[in-house]
């Protein structure tokens, strides 16, 4: 049953591996008591660097020399490009034609080659697999891989080490990699902490999958949280959700936008909509002391951010 | 000559005193190497909490019970209101009629009483002194006081403890309290670090005073950096500048606005114009590894911030 779930040893090994490349991000208490874990302040602007570095660090020199490829709506692509630059590999990133410019620019900035392919996860995954096969590149999947999940889990270890009185942790959910890693770390070390996954109303594929008892694919997704539109959880992330997650909730776009605005005004931080769904859920719960929301990323176009905060 | 300059012992004592109330703010390296000290992430959104707490903590119980008063363009007023709330005192804050709404709201949020008085430092200082005398309130001046300077100096200690390879530190200058405290700490402990004060072109009173050999008052000030319009350095802060500061430079509003935008995009942080003059000067110098810019505050109206970043 638990075959394939990442262990604490996996996560601890990942923590040692990623330490040279990943920032121990600040944990800030707001005036109302809700605490924020600032993964928007990571190199590359999102938690994704954790998984990308954990995977690239384990590739053989030959595989690194041949190069890596991934498909991503943006933040994972940037992280793979950045991790590749740091670890001496070349990276190709297949992105949707609808990716925010700031995320496309981010990939190119770290020297990654961008290929645009359609608008759905299916399109970009198919294209990436085809390129990987024809060019001998190693695939770095965005979430459904034990090394990616263990990398994300290093964030959970930091919460345990840095927060003495944690009661509830709110985690944004796209494909479920962050939720899987964080829940695996927390529940195996301090099971009293409640772990809540948060999806946008318009892309609640983990919730739908839990109801169905297996991973299901949404017919359509729609949300301002452009990083959470995977539309289907992974098999591995679904298994972690079943094993370790206390609850799944959804939030409407209006609340996500209000959360972006609240983080701007209360914490003076830039968070993207996908990274603010956790805050939206926490605020709806009236969460105060002991509650923590993970700000999973901060890559947002200036014009969009300006609209959200005014 | 050095009579009245704050000592390392003063600053170390302040550090112990303010520890329960002040955050050890993050120090973040950007991709280009320039490092940011994030005082915009302080409670109250600015470094001012350091001086305010250092002063209020040294008042007698009777003085605290009677209450405190200050005059401020915004951030110091918020800090005094917040420090008073934490230390069990009442606070009155005299603010200019032109203060950004976000700063007025900030004072009221911590329970401070706001009095609006004119638009110049002269107007609000006069009104505050009159209220202090008639109501028996203790004055907490915004910068020209040894306890305020020593409080600001605690930031310098953190830089020394947290940054191994510091070559140059850029510090925003309004009345000069932050510059005085930081320079006093750095130059007495690691004199090889260059300390550069940065003023807006339209409010360069410290520069004018250095040229005159004594504190002078500007006939007029104009800048988007609303927190740096004091128009005259203090006698004490002028003395610290002469004793400890390597250089003073000025930056135009266009560069300040570009710096706010750059911090948004590169560091995913919200900094106000006054807090970004340091970044503007550092960028003009092409400052990379070893250079640090203090982001002194992050209290900015959403509509103004939206204009700056787009």
Which pair of tokens denotes residue B110? 């911590």
- Write out chain A residues lying below 8 Å of B102, CB-based: 265
Residue B31 and residue B168 in one domain: yes
At residue B288, the pLDDT reads 87
Q: In the predicted model, is pLDDT for residue B2 greater than 70?
A: no
Nearest CA in chain B to A29: B43
Q: Residue B269 carries which DSSP code?
A: B
At residue A3, the pLDDT reads 56
Which pair of tokens denotes residue A150? 């263990």
At residue B3, the pLDDT reads 56
- ipTM of this complex: 0.94
In a domain, B248, yes or no: yes
- Interface list for B 286-305 with A (CB within 8 A): 298-299, 302-303, 305
Range of the domain at A194: 8-46+145-309
Q: In the predicted model, is pLDDT for residue B1 greater than 50?
A: no
Measure in Å the smallest separation between the Cα of B246 and chain A Cα atoms.
Answer: 31
CA-to-CA dists, residue A147 to A9, A53, A63, B128, B296, angstroms: 12, 9, 16, 61, 40
The enclosing domain of A269 has a CATH number of 3.40.50.1100
Q: Which of B139, B173, B188 is the last residue of a domain?
A: B139
The band of B64, judged by pLDDT with boundaries at 50, 70 and 90, is very high
Annotated active-site residue A73? The verdict is yes
Q: Does A264 touch chain B (CB under 8 A)?
A: yes
Rounded to an integer, the average pLDDT of B256-284 is 98
Nearest CA in chain A to B46: A268
Measure in Å the smallest separation between the Cα of A16 and chain B Cα atoms.
Answer: 21
At residue B164, the pLDDT reads 86
**DSSP letters of B182-243?**
HHHHHHHH-TTSEEEEEEEGGG-HHHHHHHHTS----S----S-GGG---S--HHHHHHHHH
Measure in Å the smallest separation between the Cα of B49 and chain A Cα atoms.
Answer: 14
The per-residue b/e assignment along B140-158, b for 16 or more CB within 10 angstroms, e otherwise, is bbbbbbbbbbbbbbbbbbb
Pick B41's closest partner by Cβ from A23, A40, A268.
A268
Place of tokens 């695996």: A184
Q: Average pLDDT for consecutive 10-residue bins of chain A (310 residues)?
A: 82 98 96 96 97 98 96 91 96 92 91 92 91 96 97 98 95 98 98 98 98 96 94 96 98 98 98 98 95 97 97
In a domain, A199, yes or no: yes
Q: Return the active site residues of B.
A: 48, 73
The band of B121, judged by pLDDT with boundaries at 50, 70 and 90, is confident
Residue A284 and residue A162 in one domain: yes
Predicted structure pTM score: 0.95
d(CA B248, CA B195): 9
Weakest-pLDDT range from A71-75, B27-31, B301-305? A71-75
Residue A294 and residue A154 in one domain: yes
Residue A57 and residue A121 in one domain: yes
Residue A85 and residue A191 in one domain: no
Residue B151 and residue B209 in one domain: yes
Q: Residue A28 and residue B40: Cβ atoms within 8 Å?
A: no
Please pick, among A2, A37, A60, A73, the residue that the annotation labels catalytic: A73
At residue B242, the pLDDT reads 98
Measure in Å the smallest separation between the Cα of B309 and chain A Cα atoms.
Answer: 6
Annotated active-site residue A48? The verdict is yes
CA-based nearest residue to B200, from B267, B260, B145, B152 = B260
Beta carbons of A281 and A24 less than 8 angstroms apart: no
Q: Which of A139, A163, A178 is the last residue of a domain?
A: A139
Q: Which of A139, A173, A192 is the last residue of a domain?
A: A139
- Edge-to-edge strands of the sheet including A194-200? A27-29, A35-38, A291-295, A168-172, A194-200, A247-251
In a domain, B1, yes or no: no
- Write out chain B residues lying below 8 Å of A26, CB-based: 26, 38, 41
Distance of CA A134 to the CA centre of its chain: 28
Residue B210 and residue B268 in one domain: yes
Residue B64 and residue B211 in one domain: no
The band of B136, judged by pLDDT with boundaries at 50, 70 and 90, is very high
Residue A70's SS3 state is strand
Residue A217's SS3 state is coil
In a domain, A1, yes or no: no
At residue A99, the pLDDT reads 87
Q: How many Cβ contacts (< 8 angstroms) between chains A and B?
A: 66
Residue A106 and residue A195 in one domain: no
Residue A65 and residue A153 in one domain: no
**A257 Ramachandran zone, left/alpha/beta (phi>0; psi -120 to 50):** alpha
In a domain, B164, yes or no: yes
Q: Does B269 touch chain A (CB under 8 A)?
A: yes
Residue B67 and residue B190 in one domain: no
Q: In the predicted model, is pLDDT for residue B73 greater than 80?
A: no
Beta carbons of A147 and A18 less than 8 angstroms apart: no
Beta carbons of A263 and A282 less than 8 angstroms apart: no
Domain tally for chain A?
2
Residue B118 and residue B215 in one domain: no
Beta carbons of B70 and B140 less than 8 angstroms apart: yes
CA-to-CA dists, residue A64 to A60, A139, A304, B68, B140, angstroms: 6, 11, 36, 63, 60
Rounded to an integer, the average pLDDT of B232-243 is 97
Q: Residue A261 and residue B310: Cβ atoms within 8 Å?
A: no
CA-based nearest residue to A186, from A249, A248, A247, A244 = A244
Q: In the predicted model, is pLDDT for residue B84 greater than 60?
A: yes
What values do phi and psi take at B142, rounded to 5? -70, -25
In a domain, B2, yes or no: no
């Amino acid at each position: 049953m638990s075959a394939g779930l990442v262990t604490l040893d996996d996560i601890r090994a990942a923590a040692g591996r990623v330490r040279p490349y990943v920032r121990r991000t600040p944990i800030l208490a707001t005036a109302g008591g809700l605490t924020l874990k600032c993964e928007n302040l990571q190199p590359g602007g999102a938690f994704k660097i954790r998984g990308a570095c954990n995977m690239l660090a384990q590739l053989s020199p030959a595989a690194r020399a041949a190069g890596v490829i991934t498909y991503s709506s943006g933040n994972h692509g940037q992280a793979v490009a950045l991790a590749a630059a740091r670890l001496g590999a070349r990276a190709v990133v297949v992105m949707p034609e609808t990716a925010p410019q700031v995320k496309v620019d981010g990939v190119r900035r770290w020297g990654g080659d961008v290929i645009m392919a359609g608008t759905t996860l299916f399109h970009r995954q198919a294209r990436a697999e085809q390129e990987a096969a024809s060019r001998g590149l190693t695939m770095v999947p965005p979430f459904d891989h034990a090394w990616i999940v263990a990398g994300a889990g290093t964030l959970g270890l930091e919460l345990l080490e840095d927060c003495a009185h944690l009661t509830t942790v709110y985690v944004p959910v796209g494909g479920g990699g962050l939720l899987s890693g964080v829940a695996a770390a927390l529940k195996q070390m301090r099971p009293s902490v409640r772990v809540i996954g948060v999806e946008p109303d318009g892309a609640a594929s983990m919730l739908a999958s839990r109801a169905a008892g297996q991973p299901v694919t949404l017919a359509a997704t729609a949300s301002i949280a452009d990083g959470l539109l995977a539309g289907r959880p992974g098999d591995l992330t679904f298994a972690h959700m079943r094993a370790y997650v206390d609850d799944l909730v959804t939030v409407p776009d209006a609340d996500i936008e209000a959360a972006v605005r609240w983080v701007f005004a209360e914490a003076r931080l830039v968070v993207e909509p996908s990274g603010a769904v956790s805050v939206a859920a926490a605020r709806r719960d009236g969460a105060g002391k002991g509650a923590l929301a993970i700000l999973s990323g901060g890559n947002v176009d200036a014009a969009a951010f300006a609209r959200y905060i005014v």
